[in-house]
Structure 1
């Protein structure tokens, strides 16, 4: 399928996990893709190679999503290098969890900076380059709708904030032909949350399907929202969680 032929996308936190799967899927659908990463240049380079292997242009930009200036510069660089920007995927996030008493100001500030402020900042930067048909897709979490375990309050709060941002931007940008949506993944098999990790069996048991998702399954929904096929979906929160919140 080439639903994104001729489009340019930027994926924050695209060097691994769901972000890497999204970047590759968008490229397979025809898009040129930039990705941001914070530390692991080697992993980012691997994703770039995989994108180029399917015949698309790729760019890796080092940027801490908690730094508004660096994140804005990364979005602007994508548009400058590729000559356009059509799709933004707000994927970068931090997962700082623990008892309420153990989460100090540093953890709160970092979580809000990366999980809440960064998607807003990146969206603000991206829409300066987008025309009609632009797409903004943010990656949330099933924890925003069902905080099933203790210690998740800070993380769940940060992901819940994306619901309000998505609805507000959908209203604001709809007249410009730009859609804004939110995907809530359920438990997904990544380096930081492996399907064979400690306690993973109990987590999988909370889903209706009884298993973790593959990152590619999340990426498939993002690709649909980013494509022309998703043109009448905006302001929506879509659970791709195997029935975790059912």
Structure 2
């Protein structure tokens, strides 16, 4: 028996990277997993196939979370496919991609997070959990300077975290808890790659400063743990980057 048997989880932005690894871990613990993608259907289908080959249950759902249609379609699909919605992992984020509209980072990292949560909550029973995935660079952005190239994205993600935290009393009324997982820069992520491209040597410099950077797989394991961890709603789980705590009062 897995810890998540008979549960259904949505993992946003899970066609690759951290989200894909979290989806695989949750499926391995018995959850039926909705693998969400925006454009890369083949990647999402590959994640689903891997889960199914390992004996798990999963479905790929394309949805643009910056639209009302997208968030409601994603929430509804969990119910249609698996009959429940017990876990929501808010992993999708962005803002450093080229060619995006002005204000896109805030639209995705704040507004879409809140809209996705609001679409899911009416379907989630008492005891459900929401996990929001962020970075130290965003979580501590008001007290610890980050790279100029990343600052607009960091501030939009912090705005998203703040907006979600404001909903904790509403979630508590429904018996739903919210946990935040904040990680240092993660090796091999799209964001890290884009940062290193715009600021060559940034990853190496951060690795030297921190002593260690988590891999995608290592960080995903920490995110997945928070789905069932015995912690209070509003808890922040810090992963790596211990030097941050000497720089801030938080």
Specify if TM > 0.5.
Answer: yes
Uncovered stretches (5+) of structure 2, i.e. residues with no partner: 246-250
Q: Give the Cα–Cα distance (whole angstroms) in 2 for the partners of residues 214 and 43 of structure 1.
A: 20
Q: Could you list the runs of 4 or more consecutive aligned residues of structure 1 that deviate by over 3 angstroms after TM superposition?
A: none
Q: Is the alpha carbon distance of 1:147 and 1:33 closer, same or farther for their aligned partners in structure 2, counting shifts above 3 Å? A: farther
Match of 1:101 in 2: none
User: Does the 8 A contact of 1:183 with 1:240 survive in 2?
Assistant: yes
Q: Give the Cα–Cα distance (whole angstroms) in 1 for the partners of residues 63 and 30 of structure 2.
A: 25
Q: Is the alpha carbon distance of 1:120 and 1:57 closer, same or farther for their aligned partners in structure 2, counting shifts above 3 Å? A: same
- TM-score, structure 2 length as denominator? 0.86
User: Does the 8 A contact of 1:88 with 1:135 survive in 2?
Assistant: yes
Q: Give the Cα–Cα distance (whole angstroms) in 2 for the partners of residues 131 and 83 of structure 1.
A: 12
Q: Give the Cα–Cα distance (whole angstroms) in 2 for the partners of residues 153 and 76 of structure 1.
A: 34
Q: Is the alpha carbon distance of 1:226 and 1:191 closer, same or farther for their aligned partners in structure 2, counting shifts above 3 Å? A: closer
Aligned length: 236
Match of 1:212 in 2: 213
Uncovered stretches (5+) of structure 1, i.e. residues with no partner: 99-103
1:131 aligned onto 2:125? yes
Q: Give the Cα–Cα distance (whole angstroms) in 2 for the partners of residues 190 and 59 of structure 1.
A: 25
CA RMSD of aligned residues (A): 2.4
1:114 aligned onto 2:108? yes
Q: Give the Cα–Cα distance (whole angstroms) in 1 for the partners of residues 10 and 97 of structure 2.
A: 28
Match of 1:236 in 2: 235
Q: Give the Cα–Cα distance (whole angstroms) in 1 for the partners of residues 177 and 217 of structure 2.
A: 22
Q: Give the Cα–Cα distance (whole angstroms) in 2 for the partners of residues 62 and 165 of structure 1.
A: 25
